[in-house]
Amino acid sequence: RRELPDGGARPNAVQFKQLVVTALRDLHGEVGAALPVDVLTYEEKTLSAILRVISSGLVKLWSALTLLGFYQNRRCAFRVLQTSPFLLALSGNSRELVLD
Protein backbone atom coordinates (compact mmCIF):
# COMPACT_ATOMS: atom_id res chain seq x y z
CA ARG A 1 0.00 0.00 0.00
CA ARG A 2 1.27 3.44 -0.85
CA GLU A 3 0.90 6.26 1.64
CA LEU A 4 0.86 9.98 0.94
CA PRO A 5 1.23 11.88 4.22
CA ASP A 6 0.46 15.28 2.69
CA GLY A 7 -2.45 14.08 0.52
CA GLY A 8 -0.74 14.54 -2.84
CA ALA A 9 -1.88 13.45 -6.27
CA ARG A 10 -3.19 9.90 -6.55
CA PRO A 11 -1.70 7.96 -9.46
CA ASN A 12 -3.88 5.84 -11.72
CA ALA A 13 -2.99 2.19 -12.44
CA VAL A 14 -0.62 3.02 -15.31
CA GLN A 15 1.20 5.67 -13.29
CA PHE A 16 1.45 3.26 -10.36
CA LYS A 17 3.08 0.61 -12.56
CA GLN A 18 5.50 3.24 -13.90
CA LEU A 19 6.30 4.26 -10.32
CA VAL A 20 7.16 0.64 -9.45
CA VAL A 21 9.42 0.32 -12.52
CA THR A 22 11.09 3.65 -11.72
CA ALA A 23 11.74 2.55 -8.13
CA LEU A 24 13.34 -0.66 -9.40
CA ARG A 25 15.46 1.24 -11.94
CA ASP A 26 16.62 3.81 -9.38
CA LEU A 27 17.85 1.19 -6.93
CA HIS A 28 18.87 -1.74 -9.16
CA GLY A 29 19.51 -0.14 -12.55
CA GLU A 30 18.28 -1.53 -15.86
CA VAL A 31 18.45 -5.10 -14.54
CA GLY A 32 15.98 -4.15 -11.81
CA ALA A 33 13.71 -2.34 -14.26
CA ALA A 34 13.59 -5.50 -16.39
CA LEU A 35 12.20 -7.53 -13.48
CA PRO A 36 8.76 -8.82 -14.50
CA VAL A 37 6.26 -7.24 -12.09
CA ASP A 38 2.52 -7.43 -12.69
CA VAL A 39 -0.07 -5.20 -11.06
CA LEU A 40 -2.93 -7.64 -10.52
CA THR A 41 -5.25 -5.21 -8.74
CA TYR A 42 -5.00 -1.53 -7.90
CA GLU A 43 -7.43 0.60 -5.92
CA GLU A 44 -6.93 4.29 -6.53
CA LYS A 45 -9.07 5.28 -3.52
CA THR A 46 -6.97 3.37 -0.99
CA LEU A 47 -3.72 3.33 -2.98
CA SER A 48 -3.56 -0.44 -2.44
CA ALA A 49 -2.30 -2.94 -4.97
CA ILE A 50 -1.55 -6.61 -5.35
CA LEU A 51 1.72 -7.13 -7.19
CA ARG A 52 2.98 -10.37 -8.66
CA VAL A 53 6.69 -11.01 -9.01
CA ILE A 54 8.80 -14.14 -9.32
CA SER A 55 10.11 -15.31 -5.95
CA SER A 56 13.71 -14.54 -6.86
CA GLY A 57 12.75 -10.90 -7.48
CA LEU A 58 10.84 -10.34 -4.24
CA VAL A 59 13.78 -8.85 -2.33
CA LYS A 60 14.61 -6.46 -5.18
CA LEU A 61 11.01 -5.28 -5.46
CA TRP A 62 10.52 -4.95 -1.71
CA SER A 63 13.76 -3.02 -1.23
CA ALA A 64 13.06 -0.70 -4.18
CA LEU A 65 9.58 0.16 -2.88
CA THR A 66 10.75 0.55 0.71
CA LEU A 67 13.56 2.94 -0.21
CA LEU A 68 11.45 5.10 -2.54
CA GLY A 69 10.68 8.29 -0.62
CA PHE A 70 9.20 10.72 -3.14
CA TYR A 71 6.52 10.79 -5.84
CA GLN A 72 6.15 13.96 -7.92
CA ASN A 73 8.40 15.83 -5.47
CA ARG A 74 6.18 14.88 -2.51
CA ARG A 75 7.04 12.49 0.27
CA CYS A 76 5.52 9.04 0.04
CA ALA A 77 6.07 5.59 1.49
CA PHE A 78 5.15 2.05 0.57
CA ARG A 79 3.98 -0.39 3.20
CA VAL A 80 4.03 -4.11 2.43
CA LEU A 81 0.98 -5.56 4.13
CA GLN A 82 1.34 -9.19 3.16
CA THR A 83 3.38 -11.54 0.99
CA SER A 84 2.55 -15.04 -0.13
CA PRO A 85 3.63 -17.56 -2.75
CA PHE A 86 -0.09 -18.30 -3.29
CA LEU A 87 -2.58 -15.76 -4.65
CA LEU A 88 -5.45 -17.40 -2.79
CA ALA A 89 -3.77 -16.62 0.52
CA LEU A 90 -3.95 -12.89 -0.28
CA SER A 91 -7.74 -12.96 -0.59
CA GLY A 92 -8.24 -12.96 3.18
CA ASN A 93 -6.47 -12.61 6.47
CA SER A 94 -6.49 -15.76 8.61
CA ARG A 95 -6.07 -13.62 11.74
CA GLU A 96 -9.48 -12.05 11.08
CA LEU A 97 -11.19 -15.35 10.37
CA VAL A 98 -14.27 -15.97 12.50
CA LEU A 99 -15.12 -19.61 13.13
CA ASP A 100 -18.70 -20.50 14.03
For residue 8, is it within any domain? no
Q: What is the pLDDT of residues 7-20, one digit of tens each?
A: 567 788 999 999 99
- pLDDT (average), residues 79-86: 85
For residue 72, is it within any domain? yes
**Rg from Cα positions in the chain:** 14
Instruction: Residue 41: give the domain boundaries.
Output: 13-81
What's the pLDDT at 93? 62
- Does the reported pTM lie above 0.95? no
For residue 20, is it within any domain? yes
Cα 43 → chain centroid:
12
For residue 99, is it within any domain? no
CA angle, 91 then 95 then 100, to 5°: 95
Cβ pair 20, 13 in contact under 8 A: no
For residue 39, is it within any domain? yes
Rounded Cα distance, 15 and 28, in Å: 20
